[in-house]
Chains A and B, each alone.
Chain A
């Protein structure tokens, strides 16, 4: 079993739709959760960063974490063609001073296309 599971899609939605992207993880040691957006042939861009269960909102993006079920989600409201990209979830264990270097474990990435 992979440490982080993410449906690779592809996911295609019409402009204006609400998009739901999801990941599950297996290790309760993961305490920090990120969502990255990656455009084709570019490096990933940090979208959202959370460390507790619940919702965190930033503009049209909402990150949701449910630690009890080890489930993380990213919602995109009023999706735009410019949102078309690959979305990667990432998890990180608790920082433990000099013994931890903040290693990220990534999901496979979901390819999203928003068509006009």
Chain B
């Protein structure tokens, strides 16, 4: 149980284009979904938190107009990187959380590797 999928797993795009990444919780309804970014040999950096039907909460320094998050249902969240540039190239990982006792446990997707040429 607690499987999270991401699509696509890998994407290469030209500078200036927009890229959409989907995150789905397959066998549970997620109370919250999170989007992270990870550079090589570094830990995960939280970009934003989203709850179904409400606006995402972005971490300090993350441009909300650059990284658009839509949380359409309890099992689907999307991250759109708008007007992507080479510096946006990174590994993007989503997670979905479900209540476990009194805390929320996060289960991670397999990640999406974005390369912007």
Q: Which residues of A contact B (CB under 8 A)?
A: 31-32, 34, 36, 41-46, 49, 51, 88, 92, 94-95, 101-104, 106-109, 111
Contact = CB atoms under 8 A, between A and B. Distances in A.
A51 B108 contact: no
B93 interface: yes
Contact of B44 (A51, A101, A102, A106): A106
A36 B38 CA distance: 15
Interface string B85-117: 000000101010101111111111111010000
Interface residues of B, number: 32
Given A43-B93, A43-B109, A101-B51, A95 B103 contact: yes
A51 B101 CA distance: 10
Given A41-B113, A45-B108, 13 more contacts: A31-B103, A43-B93, A43-B109, A46-B108, A95-B99, A95-B102, A101-B32, A101-B57, A101-B97, A102-B103, A103-B34, A104-B46, A107-B43
A92 B103 contact: yes
Contacts, number: 68
Contacts of A104: 34, 46, 106
Nearest to A33: B103
Given A34-B105, A42-B111, A43-B110, A103 B91 contact: no
Given A41-B113, A42-B110, A92-B103, A103 B43 contact: no
B48 to A, nearest CB: 11
Contacts of A88: 43-44
B43 A49 contact: no
B49 interface: yes
20 contacts: A32-B103, A36-B108, A41-B111, A42-B111, A43-B4, A43-B95, A43-B109, A46-B107, A46-B108, A51-B103, A88-B44, A92-B103, A92-B104, A101-B57, A102-B31, A102-B104, A103-B49, A106-B43, A107-B43, A111-B41
